[in-house]
Chains A and B, each alone.
Chain A
Amino acid sequence: MPVRKFRSLEGMEDSLWREPGDPGLLRAIDRVWRFAAETCPRRFPPGVYRHRSIEEAKGQREAWDLANFRAFWEGRTAKPADPEASRQLSLHEESPDGVDLTLIRWTLGLTPLERLEVLQDWVDGLTELRRGRVPER
């Protein structure tokens, strides 16, 4: 990978943009979807559904989301005792001292090996970013 130099963070972010038709875009999408499928698989009942209103369609979607959330916890060792507890957990997103509780909850839902793999992904991503720019000295 070539070493590239940027004058600003904006310039660096622009370089990550992928245009439609770019094979790199498909690889990036594939990686994101694979990661999501491995860490938090979601299931939706197959078929075509009719709704009388947008609100009714949204309600159906939320019910599926809740079912997916419950299924996610049921597949893990640490899980809330009842749906109401799940709802309470999902509502409090940030602690008073500013800690993102959703990220902690998600990490706790992983196996130890998955946690290590996530850390490895973060480190690899950071290394890629470092490779992509030469720091100003």
Chain B
Amino acid sequence: MASRSSGVDESRSVRFLGLLRTLLRHGVVFCVVGGVAAQLEGAPVLTLDLDVLYDKSVDNLGRLLAALRELKARYRDRAGRHVEPDMAKLETMRMHLLTTDLGALDVMAAIGDALTYQDLVDRTVEYQLAEARVLVLELRAVIETKEYADREKDRAVLPVLRQTLAMKARLSGQE
């Protein structure tokens, strides 16, 4: 049952690895951003959805749409309407806040100051997660996007992210 306030099915938790596997199986070109990127980079932060930044090339949009269809993705809609993503929306809209069979998934064409996948791909690190290799936005870039967004929830998590970055620097300096 979807919550009327958020449009998210709160009775089921998001399956992070399952979502990533589905995107990778369809060959989607993307990187993980947001809270999951921060956690993978070592910052202990809680997030209830997976945020990914996708490459907007036409071929990739087709692969992304196929993955979203397999996941039965639809927009989180407070009014409870059933609206599915399509090529036109993926091409033109910047943010897609979706609910899927594996939980909440936010797919984005740009983040922060209109930064695209191509702008940020050089600031990603590759992680091996079980059999999946995924690109993850580096912690410093995550911090910059949160600083740019400057919402209350972003400001709340910034001290943890900055302390994590500082501790990573200290530990790598001691190696």
Contact residues of A with B, CB < 8 Å?
Answer: 78-81, 85, 95, 97-101, 103-108, 110, 112-113, 115-116, 118-120, 122-124, 126-127, 130-131
Residue from the list A79, A85, A101, A116 in contact with B39, Cβ < 8 A: A116
New A-B contacts (18) at CB < 8 Å, excluding given A78-B171, A104-B160, A119-B16? A78-B172, A79-B171, A79-B174, A80-B174, A81-B174, A100-B44, A104-B43, A104-B164, A108-B168, A112-B136, A115-B40, A115-B42, A116-B36, A119-B39, A123-B14, A123-B47, A127-B12, A131-B11
Residue from the list A95, A97, A105, A126 in contact with B13, Cβ < 8 A: A126
Q: What are 23 contact pairs spanning A and B, CB under 8 A?
A: A79-B175, A97-B159, A98-B159, A100-B44, A104-B43, A107-B164, A108-B164, A110-B42, A112-B136, A113-B127, A113-B130, A115-B39, A116-B16, A116-B17, A116-B40, A118-B44, A119-B36, A120-B15, A122-B46, A123-B13, A124-B13, A126-B48, A127-B12
Q: State in angstroms the CA–CA spacing of A95 and B129 once bound together.
A: 31
* Contacting pair A108 B129 (CB below 8 A): no
**Closest 8 A/B residue pairs (Cβ):** A127-B13, A81-B174, A112-B127, A108-B42, A78-B171, A99-B163, A107-B44, A123-B13
